[in-house]
Amino acid sequence: MNSNEILDSLFETSNECKDNACKIDKRDVLNIYKPDLGLKDFQVKKSLFASLEPKLCDCIIVNSNKKILLMEIKCGTVTNRLLKEIIEQLTNVYKILESKKINIHKCVFICKKFSDTMVKKRLLKEKIKAIPLTHKIFQKTAIKI
């Protein structure tokens, strides 16, 4: 099975990846998967998580270069608590894809602002496994990833 077939078996697809008015520019996007709608494969859920309903990130993006990005969009202010939740959601999806031998290119989250500079500094140190967690600030139009 190729990565798209595996992703199809695990998650629902969508036309959008957004949180309220914050959304991505879809020009370079081939597919969007929505982990936050739930995991289709009960065996994966059972084998990887103690909880049967793990918190999962908003989107998995397959771009035109066939690179896979994990994405969480928070259309507001990011606090320490929220950053911890974002990391958990991205890590859970990373675990699922890693178990299926799917390589992740990037982990991204989008927000409007940070509650303070310490949250932003903490973010710069964070990694999801070996992948640095990157962010983009949402302004007024769809953000390019």
| 123-134 confidence digits (pLDDT tens) | 888 889 889 888
Cα–Cα dist 127/133, whole Å: 5
Structure tokens at 145: 């990833």
In this structure, are strands 131-137 and 113-114 parallel, antiparallel, or unpaired?
Answer: unpaired
- Average pLDDT value over all residues in the chain: 89
Q: Is 69 helix (H, G, I), strand (E, B) or coil?
A: strand
Distance CA 124, CA 134 (A): 8
Query: How far apart, in whole angstroms, are the C-alpha atoms of residue 60 and residue 34?
Result: 6
- For strands 106-111 and 127-128, give the pairing: unpaired
Question: What pTM was computed for the model?
Answer: 0.91
Residue 136 binned pLDDT confidence (cut-offs 50, 70, 90): confident
Query: 96: helix, coil or strand?
Result: helix
Q: State yes or no: pLDDT of 100 exceeds 70.
A: yes
Q: For 17-71, what is each residue's pLDDT tens digit?
A: 887 778 888 888 999 999 999 899 888 888 898 767 889 999 999 998 899 999 9
11 within 8 A of 33, measured Cβ to Cβ: yes
